[in-house]
A = this chain, B = another copy of it.
Amino acid sequence: MPIPTEITIVEVGTRDGIQAEKRPVTTEEKLCLLEYIVAAGFRRIEATSFVHPKHVPQMADAEEVLARMPRRAGLEVEALVPNVRGMERALRCEIDTATLFVAASESFNEKNLRAGSAAMLKAGAEAAKMGLAGGLKLRGGVVTAFGCPYEGRVPFEAVERVVGAYMEMGCAEVNLADTTGMTNPSAVSRLVEHIAGKFPTARLGLHFHNTRGAGLANVLSGVQAGVDTFDTSLGGLGGCPFAPRATGNIATEDTVNMLAEMGVETGIDLPKLLEGVACAEEIFDRQLPGQLLHAGVPEWEAGAV
């Protein structure tokens, strides 16, 4: 299959990227990052989450972040929404898309998301109905689609079940997440082919963590399997607050640079993005996992042979 010539990057740095930071990240700091992110030309940003502040205190300021973040024509703003209560909050804000989520593995739902799979899907369906009625687009996140820290390998059928439920709920896109960075390029292509075979009309996205170093290899495999939408986080910020040993999302700048060098367009202004990464390193006072800021963009025309 020829690789897509254009890839959509969903920047999740101010959501997945910082929800597990140990110290509270201020609203001003989030807005500062979002200034750079919007200026860099992303078409999609998952800016925040409406998970209950009791569970993810870092996202308690979701309303304020959405009210004050910069906007640009053509930019779609997204937020994570776990249930009806979160959807009620989301509908009072200016967003385009609500990302629902449920794990493909029962243990992850029970231990980390505080409800069994059936209850999670029921809550999602109720929230979905409300979101669609309110004019939102929906995307369905399949947590632990490529492996569960408690159960290990997750059967394709378990992923298929969640994807099927999302399709019935009216999700415009389904996002397969390797929550704790357990997958590999062969498993990526196998699962993508399986799900695309079962749901030929589903638009698929992929969400990788670089926990074991294979993040961009998994992106390559996803691209080769025809997927054109990837979640990334500037600087490689990230880690799931509920997942043991989860580490950062794949770094936006390293992903964009690799794709650009391959001649694949993302529409993102890399120098502007790197200013945002530098800002993030100041805010979090440490060198982040993304490598491009320190290595530098190769000084040649990207994408040329």
Contacts and interface: CB of A to CB of B under 8 A. Distances in A.
Contacts of A290: 213
A153 interface: yes
Given A220-B221, A247-B295, A295-B247, A214 B184 contact: no
Interface in A191-224: 210-217, 219-221
Contacts of A298: 147, 152, 182, 212
Interface in A244-275: 245, 247, 251, 254-255, 257-258, 261-263
A254 B291 contact: no
B305 A190 contact: yes
Interface residues of A, number: 43
A292 interface: yes
B258 A213 contact: yes
Given A186-B263, A220-B220, A212 B254 contact: yes
Contacts of A213: 210, 215-216, 251, 254-255, 257-258, 290-292
B216 A219 contact: no
Contacts of A262: 184-187
Interface in A129-178: 147, 152-153
A78 B225 CA distance: 38
Contact of A216 (B152, B216, B245, B304): B216
Contacts of A210: 213, 291
Interface of A: 147, 152-153, 181-187, 190, 210-217, 219-221, 245, 247, 251, 254-255, 257-258, 261-263, 290-292, 294-296, 298-300, 304-305
Q: Which 9 A-B pairs have the closest CB atoms?
A: A213-B254, A184-B261, A152-B300, A216-B217, A186-B262, A217-B217, A217-B220, A214-B258, A211-B295
24 contacts: A147-B298, A147-B300, A152-B299, A153-B300, A184-B262, A185-B220, A186-B262, A187-B261, A187-B305, A213-B215, A213-B251, A213-B254, A213-B258, A213-B291, A214-B216, A214-B258, A216-B216, A216-B217, A217-B217, A217-B220, A217-B258, A220-B221, A245-B296, A247-B295
